Amino acid sequence: MMADQLTVGSLCTGYGGLDLALKAHFPTRVIWTSEIDKHASRVVKARYRAPNLGDLKLIDWGAIEAPDIITAGYPCQPFSQAGRRNGTEDERHIWPWIAEGIRHLRPRLAVMENVPGHLTKGFGEVIGTLAEMGYDATWGCVRASDAGAPHRRERVFIVATDADGAGRQGRGRPVAAADGERRSLTYCRGNPTLIGALKLLPTPRASDGADATSHHRTWSSTDYNMHNVARQVVKDGVVSGRKGPVPAEAATIWGEYLPAIERWEVVTGRKAPSPVLDTRLNPVFVEWMMGLRLGHVTAVGLARTQELKILGNGVVWQQAALALTHLLPIALTHSRQRAST
C-alpha cells in the first residue's frame, strides 16, 4: 500500500460511483462499504476488496476503522421531485445515521451526493448538522452532461471538511462555521470555467441553434434520456448484440442524439453498445451511459431488471469527479484558513 494512500469508508455504496470519482483526485483504498440491497451487494462483493458492513443504522462506529474520507450517495426518494417529497419524515431518510458515523469517525473529508430537489427539502438539516459537528460544507450542482455524458442527470454534491483539521487526533472540538462563511457553487449555462475544463473534447454540433463553441450550453440543451434513445432505435428497427456496438452503417439511427453519443465515446474511450436488447433497453448501454467500464455491473450475473435498478441509482463518476475538481479547492482552502486562525 502506498504510504500516502487515503482510506475511504463507503456508505450507501451502490456500484461505487463516488469512490471511483475520488480515485481521479487521490490515491485511495476503500477499507469498508455499507450496502443493504442484496443485488447491489453482489456488485460490491465483486468490485471491492473490503467488507460490507450492511445496514448503516446498525453499525457500531466505535468498532470499525476510522477512514480519512467518508462517501455517501444517500437515498434520494425523500427529496426527489418524482416522489412525494416527505423529506425528513420519510422512513428512507437516513442522514441522521450517516451524521452519527461522521461524528464518531471524524474523517478529514466527507463527500456526499443527492438530487437537486434536496436543496429545497431536508438540505438545511444536513448542512446544519455538519456545522454543529464542526464541519465546513461546500456544495454545488453539476450535471452528467457537464462532464460530457449524453444525459442531464443533475445532482448536488457536498464536500465537508473538518473545520480545524483536528479530527480524531484530539485537539478539541472544532468551532462550527457561521452561515455567512459557508461556500456554495452552482454551475450555470455557459460557465467559462466549465467550458475550459471541456476544451479538449471535440466541438459538438449545434443541432438546436445553440452556440457550438459553448460545450456546456450545447450539450445541456437537449435532455438525452436513455429511454428516449432506446425508443428511437426500436422505432427504426435496429437491434444488435448485448455487448456489441451499433453497426457503423446504422449510425444515423441516433438522430439528434448522435453528437452526444459521439462525444461520450471520446470521453469513455469506447464505442456505444447497442441501446436495445430484444426491443428492450439494454443494461450494457446504460452502463456505458453511466461512464462505467464494460461489465462493472452487467458481468456480475444479475437479472436485467436488477442491473437497470442498480445503474439507475448510481453516480456518473466522471460527473462526480468534475464536481470535486471545483469543490475540493474551495473546501480545502477554507479548511486551511480556519485552521490557521
Mean pLDDT, rounded, for 298-310: 96
Residue 318's pLDDT band, with cuts at 50, 70 and 90, is very high
Q: What residues contact residue 84 under an 8 Å CB cut-off, 6+ apart? A: 90
Q: Are residues 58 and 179 in the same domain?
A: yes
Q: Are residues 119 and 246 in the same domain?
A: no
pLDDT-above-90 percentage for the chain: 48
Question: Is 276 inside a domain boundary?
Answer: yes
Q: Are residues 164 and 274 in the same domain?
A: no
pTM confidence score? 0.77
Q: How far apart are CA 128 and CA 255, in angstroms?
A: 46
pLDDT of residue 188: 26
Q: Tens of pLDDT along 160-173?
A: 998 756 454 433 33
Q: Are residues 322 and 312 in the same domain?
A: no
Q: Are residues 159 and 239 in the same domain?
A: no
Q: What residues contact residue 188 under an 8 Å CB cut-off, 6+ apart? A: none
Q: Are residues 174 and 230 in the same domain?
A: no
Q: Are residues 176 and 103 in the same domain?
A: yes
Q: Are residues 248 and 306 in the same domain?
A: yes
Containing structural domain, residue 99: 6-190+318-339
Question: Is 216 inside a domain boundary?
Answer: yes
Is 189 a residue whose pLDDT tops 70?
Answer: no
Q: Are residues 179 and 303 in the same domain?
A: no
Q: How far apart are CA 160 and CA 172, in angstroms?
A: 18
Question: Is 1 inside a domain boundary?
Answer: no
Element (H, E) at 323: helix 317-339
Q: Tens of pLDDT along 199-244?
A: 223 333 333 333 322 222 222 323 334 445 444 444 444 444 555 6
Q: Are residues 161 and 77 in the same domain?
A: yes
**CA distances (Å), origin 331, targets 136, 207, 290, 326:** 7, 38, 26, 9
Number of domains in the chain: 2
Is 193 a residue whose pLDDT tops 50?
Answer: no
What's the DSSP call for residue 325?
Answer: H
Mean pLDDT, rounded, for 68-95: 68
* Distance, C-alpha 294 to centroid of its chain: 18
pLDDT of residue 13: 97
CATH number of the structural domain spanning residue 94: 3.40.50.150
Amino acid letter at 199? K
Q: Are residues 68 and 172 in the same domain?
A: yes
Length of the chain: 341
Residue 257's pLDDT band, with cuts at 50, 70 and 90, is confident
Give which of 37, 46, 31, 48 is closest to 14, Cα–Cα.
37
Place of cell 483526485: 25
At how many degrees (to 10) do helices 123-132 and 95-105 cross? 20
